[in-house]
Amino acid sequence: MLHFLSNKLQFMVILAAGNFRQEKLMDQQIDSETDIPEMKARLYEYEVEHRDLDKVIDYLEAATTPDELLIRRLKKRKLMLKDRIMHLEHSLTPDIPA
């Protein structure tokens, strides 16, 4: 089944299927201006992984015999990424004084 997927998508499936270590739920707050480029790079990586997971989930759900456990794990990972994306976007948005 995995031979139809690209190498990157295969990696995503293998990562989600294995017992990967639970990462921290949220990234640390920005301490200085020098962290902003790093945070933007991380945000981009999370967005790319989120889109890739969406493609993998769609592919697996369309299969004749979908692996429900794998799909559930991928969706959980996707939700965690969405939370991180929201947190990073909020951290990068400057506060507006009242």
Q: What is the mean pLDDT of residues 43-49?
A: 94
Domain boundaries along the sequence of the chain: 36-93
Q: What is the mean pLDDT of residues 48-52?
A: 94
Give the pTM.
Answer: 0.67
Contacts of 58 (CB under 8 A, 6+ apart): none
Q: What is the mean pLDDT of residues 32-43?
A: 80
Cβ pair 47, 85 in contact under 8 A: yes
Q: Give phi and psi for 47, each to the nearest 5.
A: -65, -40
CA dist 77 and 23 (Å) reads 10
Cβ pair 53, 76 in contact under 8 A: no
| Confidence band, pLDDT 50/70/90 cuts, at residue 35 | confident
Q: What is the mean pLDDT of residues 84-91?
A: 91
Handedness of CA 75, 85, 47, 17 (dihedral sign): negative
Per-residue burial over 48-75, b if 16 or more Cβ lie within 10 Å, else e, is ebbebbeebbeebeeeeeeeeeebebbe
